[in-house]
Amino acid sequence: MADLSNVLEIATATHSGMVRSHNEDSIAADAAVGLAVLADGMGGYNAGEVASGIAVAMIGAELKKALAAITGELDVATGVKLVGEHAVRANNAIFQASQSQPQYAGMGTTLVVALWHDDHMIVGHIGDSRLYRMRGSKLEQVTRDHSLLQEQIDSGLITKEQARHSQNKNLVTRAVGIDPEVDAEVHSYPVQPGDIYLLCSDGLNDMVTDEDMELTLSSLQANLPLAAEQLVQQANDNGGRDNVSVILVRVLKNFPARSGLVDRMKSWFR
Amino acid sequence: MAKLILSLEGSVIREVPLDKERIMIGRKPSNEIQIENLAVSGEHACIVTILNDSFLEDMGSTNGTLVNGNPIKKHILQNNDVIEIGKYKLKYIAEAPAHAPAEDFEKTMILRPAKAAPKPATEPAPAAKPSMPPPTPKPSMAPAAPAAAKPAQPASAPAAVAATVAAATTGKPGEPHMLAAVQILTGPSAGRELDLVKNLTTLGKPGLQVAVITRRPQGYFITHVEGAKFPIINGKMIDAQAQPLHDHDVIELAGVKMEFFIKK
């Protein structure tokens, strides 16, 4: 696997918010591997933290191991498969824990995983944690929530504007660890240098409008850690009703996987 | 946290906090609330608590369960309800509603499709009984949420909670009332004024030196964004931390002086 630490610049921020006493979000990011994972746990007492913690730790460690074990080059289709498989593994681990230990009964977590490889980004998600892409000065939502609200929007029952004021923002239709089986939605997208990717928990996008996120990212893109901090601060200034987590990933240059012999020869002479 | 006060003929025996999702009442020792009396069934009733709501269900007891004198099968407990089981009384005291609704606000919950109900064989032992009644969903939710109308399985029963989640208001509570501006004092655009109406306004030259002025509920702040040099406020260079701005502060940035002032 190629080392992407010179290709990706990553900044993260997470905060329990202004209302909650503890933070049930978990995040992890590794520029060298080209991996970012964010999970927003749910369940009584500290079970939410446990669920999101398991998801992030497992996917972080095991996906890394699986990628390292690949000899030769990883193609995008295999990457998509890997991300899906590891989401399923995390689901099994959390489900087992919740079945065997009564204090964890019913715990679960949302998940968004992004893996950068060969000028592509592979994104897997379950639930309502999101990934956005900032290209040029335009911010676009890449993932589509697995939530009741999104289903209502899709079926034309309500408009996006009505959705903003909806009372059931918080109901997800898919989560990791709740049922014995789960289906991650995984897609791959071509990546361009200069792109900034934002992974966030709903504590951000429920409190800060997409326009404000776009403004923040475009004004502060020169300083990624400040941008991440600023996004969290805005969520808190607007009430901070939920835990808020942000991972920002900037793509500094192209990162094609060298596959052909010619490419490999070229690389020797570089 | 809500609690039950268990009493017999007017004398209090003990208080039981409803700190578990499911609390069983009955004669057998496996119950969380054990009442050793022959009038009480082995597993007499159970109380399921989700966030701030508790639901009482009679588990098919021989002598029945009364709430405020009326026999019930299933019941949503209200503050000061008196549950009668045999000669014993359990008074339900709801949680002090201090700021409880805010706690519940936007807590992420799973809405399980009906097909996802676990098979009895795989269900965890303590939760193997049929669940409490689904509270009536809000009318606005009904058409889009067929799953919400089905009784959810015990483990999380989130669909039930849907109806009780506090209303979401996406107002901006801390919108500052004041409006401030900066006026350029030196350089080619001297005299120009810039209203700080956005939450973020960047100043300076990209690549050379940039700072951002943020508008927050507490007021305006300036933070260094990029460049080797940091902004100078009233002749003093700031560090990487956000710095509050005061009326008539003079900001020096990328060789240009400007004055921050509050308009109203």
Sign of CA dihedral A66, A69, A71, A73: positive
Q: What is the mean pLDDT of residues A79-92?
A: 95
Q: Are B71 and B50 in contact (CB under 8 A)?
A: no
Residue A1 has pLDDT above 90, yes or no: no
Distances (CA, A) of B8 to A18, B13, B29: 44, 7, 19
Distances (CA, A) of A123 to A59, A165, B208: 13, 28, 35
> Are B226 and A223 within 8 A, CB to CB?
yes
Q: Is A210 on the interface with B (CB under 8 A)?
A: no
Assign B20 a pLDDT band (cuts: 50, 70, 90): confident
Interface of A with B in 55-94 (CB under 8 A): none
ipTM: 0.83
- Separation CA A148–CA A170 (nearest Å): 8
Q: Report the first-to-last Cα separation within chain A, whole angstroms.
A: 18
Task: Tell me how crowded residue B192 is: count the other CB atoms within 10 A of its CB.
Answer: 12
Mutate to test the interface with A, among B108, B141, B216, B224 (most CBs of A within 10 A): B108
CB pairs under 8 A between A and B: 134
**Tens-place pLDDT, residues B134-179:** 343 333 333 433 333 333 344 443 433 333 333 333 334 444 568 9
Q: Is A16 on the interface with B (CB under 8 A)?
A: no
- Separation CA B124–CA B118 (nearest Å): 10
Q: Quick one: closest CA in B to A129, which residue?
A: B108
Q: Quick one: closest CA in A to B161, which residue?
A: A171
Contact list in A for residue B143 (CB cut-off 8 A) is: 157
Range list of H helices, B85-234: 100-104, 146-149, 158-162
Q: Are A63 and A56 in contact (CB under 8 A)?
A: no
**Tens-place pLDDT, residues A108-141:** 999 999 999 989 999 999 999 999 999 998 999 9
Q: Are A231 and A15 in contact (CB under 8 A)?
A: no
User: Is the pTM of the predicted complex or chain greater than 0.80?
Assistant: no
> Are A110 and B167 within 8 A, CB to CB?
no
Which residue from B109, B118, B200 is facing A170, i.e. has the nearest CB?
B109
The whole-number pLDDT of residue A270 equals: 52
Q: Quick one: closest CA in B to A227, which residue?
A: B225
Residue A42 has pLDDT above 60, yes or no: yes
Q: Specify which residues B256 forms β-bridges with.
A: B253
Minimum distance, in Å, between the CA of residue B131 and any CA atom of chain A? 14
Contact list in A for residue B118 (CB cut-off 8 A) is: 179-180
The whole-number pLDDT of residue A41 equals: 94
Q: Is A42 on the interface with B (CB under 8 A)?
A: yes
